[in-house]
């Protein structure tokens, strides 16, 4: 992989990295094929070879995000498995928020569907797998912890809570009402939830 050959060698990944940089530095609205090419040090028409068009580039970027997202949550879940289903779910929630902070550009693109093709099968499968980790974790809970509620609704509640927390935080809305940082708020919210579902502990 010499530096200055005619063939880049890893242009596809380099372009996805470039998108990451653009979003991080200038926001998602600033992403363009030409700017991505510029950052990858390649002619402006090169990206079309790998992604077809702009939507293709953003779709691939979002799919990459969901893959990493899923991996991180699965890793966290497995690591917390010995603590039981509650610890497992909590670890996933924390990872959900951590991902949104550490990979903010990815997180943004994953949930700004106007730039990517929502019907792309690769993207759909990636997102499905990622969220599946969270949803499965709720299903593993002791039914008694659900208080008779349907598992699907319990899963949606957990998902929505953690997702809402992440997006409200990143949009700067939560900071209008408190000085607490995200992890402190998350702890409070998660404990609240545990206090409700398992007060006997």
**Residue 131 CA to chain centroid, in angstroms?**
9
**Minimum CB separation from its own copies for residue 177, in Å?**
7
Interaction of residue 43 with DNA, rule CB under 7 A = yes
The listed partner (DNA, its own copies, none) that binds 6, CB under 5 to 8 Å by sort, is: DNA
User: Contacting DNA (CB under 7 A), which of 27, 29, 34, 118?
Assistant: 34
Interaction of residue 32 with DNA, rule CB under 7 A = yes
> Cα–Cα distances in Å, from 65 out to 26, 109, 162, 192?
18, 8, 17, 30
Q: Are 189 and 97 in contact (CB under 8 A)?
A: no
Helix/strand/coil for 87: helix
**Minimum CB separation from DNA for residue 53, in Å?**
3
Interaction of residue 111 with its own copies, rule CB under 8 A = yes
Interaction of residue 107 with its own copies, rule CB under 8 A = no
Residues 49-68 that bind DNA (CB under 7 A): 49-50, 53-55
* DSSP code per residue over 122-191: HHHHHHHHHHHHHHHHHHTS-GGGGTT--HHHHHHHHHHHHHHHHHHHHTT-GGGT----HHHHHHHHHH
Binding window for its own copies (CB under 8 A); candidates: 42-50, 53-61, 75-83, 170-178: 170-178
User: Contacting DNA (CB under 7 A), which of 16, 18, 19, 46?
Assistant: 46
> Cα–Cα distances in Å, from 84 out to 79, 148, 153?
11, 20, 21
Residues that bind DNA (CB under 7 A): 5-9, 11, 32-35, 37, 42-46, 48-50, 53-55
């Amino acid at each position: 992989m010499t530096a200055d050959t005619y063939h880049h060698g890893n242009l596809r990944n380099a372009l996805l990295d470039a998108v990451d940089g653009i979003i991080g530095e200038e926001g998602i609205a600033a992403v363009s094929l030409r700017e991505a090419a510029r950052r990858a040090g390649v002619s402006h028409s090169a990206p079309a070879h790998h992604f077809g068009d702009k939507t293709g580039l953003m779709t691939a970027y979002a799919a990459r995000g969901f893959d990493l997202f899923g991996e991180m949550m699965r890793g966290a879940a497995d690591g917390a498995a010995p603590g039981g289903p509650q610890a497992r779910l909590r670890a996933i929630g924390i990872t959900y928020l951590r991902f949104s902070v550490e990979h903010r550009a990815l997180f943004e693109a994953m949930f700004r569907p106007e730039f990517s093709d929502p019907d792309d099968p690769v993207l759909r499968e990636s997102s499905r797998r990622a969220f599946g980790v969270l949803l499965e974790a709720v299903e593993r809970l002791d039914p008694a912890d659900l208080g008779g509620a349907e598992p699907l609704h319990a899963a949606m509640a957990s998902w929505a809570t953690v997702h809402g927390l992440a997006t409200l935080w990143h949009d700067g809305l939560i900071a209008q009402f408190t000085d607490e940082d995200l992890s402190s708020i998350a702890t409070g919210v998660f404990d609240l939830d545990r206090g409700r579902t398992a007060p006997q502990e």
